[in-house]
Amino acid sequence: MEDSKGLWKIKYESDLFPEFGREIAASPGGENIFSCIQCGTCSGFCPLSLYMDYTPRRIIAMTRAGFKEEVLSSSMIWMCASCYGCTVECPKEIKITDVMYALKQRAIKEGVYPRRFLVPILAHSFFKSVWKHGRNTESHLIVSMYMKSNPFKMLTQSLLGMKLWLKGRMGIMTDSIRDKKSLQSLLQAVKKIQNGKAH
Amino acid sequence: MSAFDIQENGDFRIGVFVCDCGINIAGKVNVSAVAEFAGTLPNVVVTREYKFMCSDPGQELIQNDVKEFRLNRVVVASCSPLMHEATFRRATAEAGLNQYFFQMVNIREHVSWVTENEYLATEKAKALVAAAVRRVKVHRALESKSVPVNPDVLVVGGGIAGIHAALTIANAGKKVYLVEREPTIGGHMAKFDKTFPTLDCAACILTPKMSSVKAHKNITLWTYSEIDKVDGFAGNFTVRVKRKPRYIKEEDCVGCNLCVEACIFKEGKFEDEFNVGLSKRKPIYMPFPQATPSVVLIDPETCLHFKTGKCKQKCVEVCERGAIDFNQQEEFKEINVGAIILATGFKTFDPHRISEYGYGVYPNVYTSLEIERLVNASGPTQGEVLMRDGRKPKSVAIIHCVGSRDRKTNAYCSRVCCMYSLKLAHLIKERTGAEIYNYYIDMRTPGKGYEEFYDKLLQEGVHFIRGRVAEVTNWAMVPSEEDKLIIRAEDTLIGVARRVPVDMVILSVGLEAHDDAGEVQRLFNISCSKEGWFLERHPKLAPVSTFTDGIFIAGACQGPKDIPDTVAQAGAAAAEALAMVDIGHVELEPNTANVETVMCSGCKTCISMCPFSAITFDAENWRAEFNEALCKGCGTCVVTCPTGAAQQHLYTDDEMYEEIEGVLHYV
């Protein structure tokens, strides 16, 4: 745990969750995390590690050692842009991006992800929009994201939005597909499989 | 001898050859200027500069010039004589000159590598060349002497290195004496359970070799014996071996162990050396079931007969072969050998010295060697991993680098600890299912199949925490830590200090030179590094030779190494020793001392000073007499002689004075 100054206190083994690493390793793509030699290639390659609270390497180490709370509440797992650079470069063939998905799912399941953090909200809104209309409408997505996180922030972005609208880069009309029913039944099936299989 | 050889006052024709040694010399010394300067010296007929004088074209250059310019003296300014004196002497000889009409100038180690200023370096090189040109004129034509070699070989130390070397030489048909200090051969390897990374059983691969040593007709095995004295030189060593009394007639004992059962001590009472103190033995004992030779011994320190003289001597009663002999005395054997291989091994670091790890304080803190015995099927618990309190551990911490990579103890890496820690982690996990935590500084797995073994361990779910352990304590700070040993260390990869409670702690102790390595070094007249490891002649190109000809080293006495490397080195040492004894003779440097009889006053000072007893007194002519066969060329008599009658070849007074004058004249 970090104290108020952001410094680590000593970690007792009884505060850890020894099963956590094994559970993540059992999820799809997680099988190789115990092979990790902590070389840091993933963190070095990651274009976003600069902005992360923990680097991918550290997240893997902490996952293995059972630092469940720290890992799941970390902003890092949500920052992953899924570029798969780390997965391509990893010398031990760990599917790091897949591990991040496993951690994200676990965080959602346990409800411990950072609530005001943009990425999970964006993901939620995106999914909702696709579920409903079969398409993503960017203007709606942005508005919904800011409404749920920080409505005032929208003001600073409004000028850019206007410019994009005037140039025809962003519409206000809702995009949608014709056969929404079929898509929904398809997604429903996927959801069922996932719920049945993972956790 | 060639027509060009001129002994005195002749027409000297000297060639000076200056080497660039790539940029090793030319980078600091203005080689052209040195060559040019050499050309101005009296009697110098030709000077050359060349990139690598030691190369074949370089040597040909010397030989062609000797012929073309009818040279009768050669000076080469290049590297250390230790490196290439033999090369250039050979080139000189092949050109038809006596090989001692050559002088080498060291302008690399003595000049370019140690001088910062280019001008000063060049000046120093010139001065040294000037000195050599003067010196080489007074060189005498000498013949190197060839003496026959004793074909027998002595191997000191009966661990895996000594065993392998002895067997290799014996299989080649040479006679080998294998001398071991302990009552049995086998060394450390006999104590191990499995070997990394293949996990084959140490005993299964070692004991057949041990029995073939015992059975080999070319090997004389002397256990419980030590080297007492070494005399002579390469090819002709005289060695005195002390055979300690084991109070058993070795040739009569068949190892039936009836005496051990009969001993009036019903249970073992004394610390068992083989099980590193984890079990007890009787005063009469067999070190371990496969001990070679299969002969018991009596420890006089604990035997009632020796302590009180009032024992019923049940052992004597029960021994049908009458092998027990309480009156056995120390025995000395003198042997002659041509070559000696030292394979004296190592000792493990004593972790009492690192008090924060609690060895000797907390009973469940073990050394790795103790664990080797504990997981061994022939060990004190028959291979069951039980702690001193009889419990099976549920969690185990293995602390790497104990007594290694630490300036307070040993600064070097002991090389084998990472791998044996992985092996022990695997074995303990396999047998107990315990959680294992490895605390390491760096994981070092440089060997065939080693990294793959590490990967296997990672996948087995053994925990690896990168960080040097600060302390092992029993001071619980939360309820879950009670009755446990707590390891405090920083997990440097996560960036947090952690406290991990465990049942058992294993200290992966490093390797150290034996306490008496210094005595062995003096006995055999070889060199030691400051850590006590025996020094090889060259770290790359002469890794098993020493600075003393005819003495070779193998195994961990040269530095920490694992079993594959030890066996490879033992094979190399055996090959080197064989190469030496098989050729039948050795060339000796003609650097022996002699006496100018007219100048000898017969004061006898040199006789008492000579460490090799090479000088005797001729009472009839009242002068000293030198035996060149015994002289080792140490020079002691030369500096002792008050009249200057004692002189040493290659280092005569006039040669030394000419050299000094050469330098002084230039300066």
pLDDT digits (tens, 9 = 90+) for A71-106: 999 989 988 989 999 999 999 999 999 999 999 989
A11–B458: do the CB atoms touch at under 8 Å? Answer: no
Pick the CATH number of B246-327 from 1.10.3470, 3.30.70, 3.40.50, 2.40.30: 3.30.70
Peptide bond just before B293 cis, omega within 30 deg: yes
B498–A10: do the CB atoms touch at under 8 Å? Answer: yes
What pLDDT sits at residue B667? 78
Give dist(CA B124, CA B25) in Å, integer. 12
What pLDDT sits at residue B464? 96
Chains A and B: how many Cβ contacts under 8 Å? 57
Average pLDDT over residues B513-526: 94
Q: Is the pLDDT of residue B544 over 80?
A: yes
CATH class, range B14-144: alpha beta
B494–A67: do the CB atoms touch at under 8 Å? Answer: yes
Name the superfamily (CATH) of residues B347-512: FAD/NAD(P)-binding domain (3.50.50.60)
Q: In which residue are the tokens 């030369």 written?
A: B638
- Give the pLDDT band of residue B100 (cuts 50, 70, 90): very high
Distance of alpha carbon B609 from the chain centroid: 29
Percent of chain B with pLDDT over 90: 90
Pick the CATH number of B593-648 from 3.40.228.10, 3.30.70.20, 3.40.1160.10, 3.40.50.2300: 3.30.70.20
Q: In which residue are the tokens 């029995």 written?
A: B211
Position B293: which residue type?
Answer: P
Distance of alpha carbon B610 from the chain centroid: 28
Q: Which residue of B459, B480, B493 is in closest CB contact with A61?
A: B493
Average pLDDT over residues B329-346: 97
Domain ranges of chain B: 14-144, 153-244+332-341+517-582, 246-327, 347-512, 593-648
DSSP B277-300: TSSEE-SEE-SSTT-SS---EE-T
Strand, coil or helix: what is B338? coil
Strands (E), B282-356: 284-285, 297-298, 331-337, 339-342, 347-348
Which residues in chain B are contacts of A10 at CB distance < 8 A? 496-499
Interchain CB contact of A68 with B (< 8 Å)? no
Per the prediction, chain B carries an average pLDDT of 94
Interchain CB contact of B498 with A (< 8 Å)? yes
B435–A18: do the CB atoms touch at under 8 Å? Answer: yes
| Helix, strand, coil share of chain B (percent; to 5) | 30, 25, 45
Which residues in chain A are contacts of B459 at CB distance < 8 A? 34-35
Strand, coil or helix: what is B232? strand
Best to test chain B binding among A9, A12, A54, A60 (most B CBs inside 10 Å):
A12
Dihedrals phi, psi of A150, to nearest 5 degrees: -150, 95
Which residues in chain A are contacts of B491 at CB distance < 8 A? 11, 61, 65
pLDDT digits (tens, 9 = 90+) for B232-285: 888 999 999 999 999 999 999 999 999 999 999 999 999 999 999 999 999 999
Q: Is the pLDDT of residue B8 over 50?
A: no
A58–B497: do the CB atoms touch at under 8 Å? Answer: no
Average pLDDT over residues B21-31: 95
User: How close, in Å, is residue B21 to chain A by CA atoms?
Assistant: 41
Percent of chain A with pLDDT over 90: 42
What pLDDT sits at residue A8? 60
Per the prediction, chain A carries an average pLDDT of 87
Q: Is the pLDDT of residue B1 over 70?
A: no
Interchain CB contact of A69 with B (< 8 Å)? no
Chain A residue with CA closest to B479: the answer is A14
Q: Which residues contact B255 (CB under 8 A, 6 or more apart)?
A: B286, B291, B293, B294, B295, B296
B480–A13: do the CB atoms touch at under 8 Å? Answer: yes
H or E element that contains B511: strand B511-512
Give dist(CA B586, CA B629) in Å, integer. 12
Chain B residue with CA closest to A2: the answer is B496
Interchain CB contact of A14 with B (< 8 Å)? yes
Alpha helices in B69-117 (DSSP H): 81-94
Which residues in chain A are contacts of B435 at CB distance < 8 A? 18
Q: Which residue of A10, A37, A92 is in closest CB contact with B499?
A: A10
B461–A36: do the CB atoms touch at under 8 Å? Answer: no
User: How close, in Å, is residue B392 to chain A by CA atoms?
Assistant: 20
User: How close, in Å, is residue A96 to chain B by CA atoms?
Assistant: 16
User: How close, in Å, is residue A35 to chain B by CA atoms?
Assistant: 5
Interchain CB contact of A10 with B (< 8 Å)? yes
B500–A13: do the CB atoms touch at under 8 Å? Answer: yes
Interchain CB contact of B483 with A (< 8 Å)? no
Q: Which residues contact B327 (CB under 8 A, 6 or more apart)?
A: none
The pTM for the full model equals 0.83
A10–B496: do the CB atoms touch at under 8 Å? Answer: yes
- Give the pLDDT band of residue B4 (cuts 50, 70, 90): very low
Residue pair A33/A64 in contact by the 8 Å Cβ criterion = yes
Q: Which residues contact B82 (CB under 8 A, 6 or more apart)?
A: none
Chain B residue with CA closest to A11: the answer is B498
Q: In which residue are the tokens 């995106």 written?
A: A126
Q: Is the pLDDT of residue B9 over 60?
A: no
What pLDDT sits at residue A139? 86
User: CA–CA distance from A22 to each of B13, B500, B584 (Å)?
Assistant: 84, 19, 67
Which residues in chain A are contacts of B478 at CB distance < 8 A? 12, 14
- Give the pLDDT band of residue A196 (cuts 50, 70, 90): low
pLDDT digits (tens, 9 = 90+) for A21-65: 999 999 999 999 999 999 999 999 999 988 899 999 999 999 999
Q: Is the pLDDT of residue B10 over 80?
A: no
Give dist(CA B154, CA B177) in Å, integer. 5
Average pLDDT over residues B18-28: 95
Residues 46-65 of A with CB under 8 A from B: 57-58, 61-62, 64-65
What pLDDT sits at residue A197? 56
Q: Is the pLDDT of residue A3 over 80?
A: no
Distance of alpha carbon B498 from the chain centroid: 42
Average pLDDT over residues A188-197: 78
Domain ranges of chain A: 14-110, 118-190
Interchain CB contact of A37 with B (< 8 Å)? yes
Which residues in chain B are contacts of A62 at CB distance < 8 A? 494
Give dist(CA A195, CA A187) in Å, integer. 12
Strand, coil or helix: what is A156? helix
What pLDDT sits at residue A90? 94
Model ipTM value: 0.77
User: How close, in Å, is residue A54 to chain B by CA atoms?
Assistant: 9
User: If one looks up domain B153-244+332-341+517-582 in CATH, what number appears?
Assistant: 3.50.50.60
Positive/negative CA dihedral, A187, A193, A194, A199: positive
Left (φ > 0), alpha (ψ -120 to 50) or beta: where does A87 sit?
Answer: alpha
Interchain CB contact of A67 with B (< 8 Å)? yes
Interchain CB contact of B500 with A (< 8 Å)? yes
Rg for chain B, CA atoms, rounded? 31
Q: Is the pLDDT of residue A7 over 60?
A: no
Residue pair A147/A155 in contact by the 8 Å Cβ criterion = no
pLDDT digits (tens, 9 = 90+) for B545-558: 998 889 999 999 99
Chain B residue with CA closest to A13: the answer is B500
A11–B498: do the CB atoms touch at under 8 Å? Answer: yes
- Give the pLDDT band of residue A170 (cuts 50, 70, 90): confident
User: How many CA atoms are closer than 13 Å to the CA of B531, on its beta-carbon side?
Assistant: 25
Q: How does strand B73-78 pair with strand B102-106?
A: parallel
CA trace torsion A78, A82, A86, A89 (10° rounding): 180
pLDDT digits (tens, 9 = 90+) for B459-475: 999 999 999 999 999 99
H or E element that contains B305: helix B304-307
Give dist(CA B127, CA B662) in Å, integer. 7
Residue pair B555/B162 in contact by the 8 Å Cβ criterion = yes
Give dist(CA A126, CA A147) in Å, integer. 14
Q: Do domains B153-244+332-341+517-582 and B347-512 have the same CATH topology?
A: yes
pLDDT digits (tens, 9 = 90+) for B28-40: 999 999 999 999 9
Residues 17-36 of A with CB under 8 A from B: 18, 22, 34-36
**Domain A14-110 = CATH 2.102.10.10:** no
Interchain CB contact of A113 with B (< 8 Å)? no
Distance of alpha carbon B314 from the chain centroid: 44
Q: Is the pLDDT of residue B400 over 50?
A: yes
User: How close, in Å, is residue B491 to chain A by CA atoms?
Assistant: 10
Which residues in chain B are contacts of A92 at CB distance < 8 A? 455
Strand partners, B15: B46, B74
Please classify residue A116 by burial: count the beta carbons closer than 10 Å to its beta carbon, then call 0-12 exposed, 13-18 middle and 19+ buried.
Answer: exposed
User: How close, in Å, is residue A58 to chain B by CA atoms?
Assistant: 6
Q: Is the pLDDT of residue A13 over 60?
A: yes
DSSP B551-616: EEE-GGGSS---HHHHHHHHHHHHHHHHHHHHT-EEEE-S--EEE-GGG-----HHHHH-TT--EE
Which residues in chain A are contacts of B458 at CB distance < 8 A? 34-37
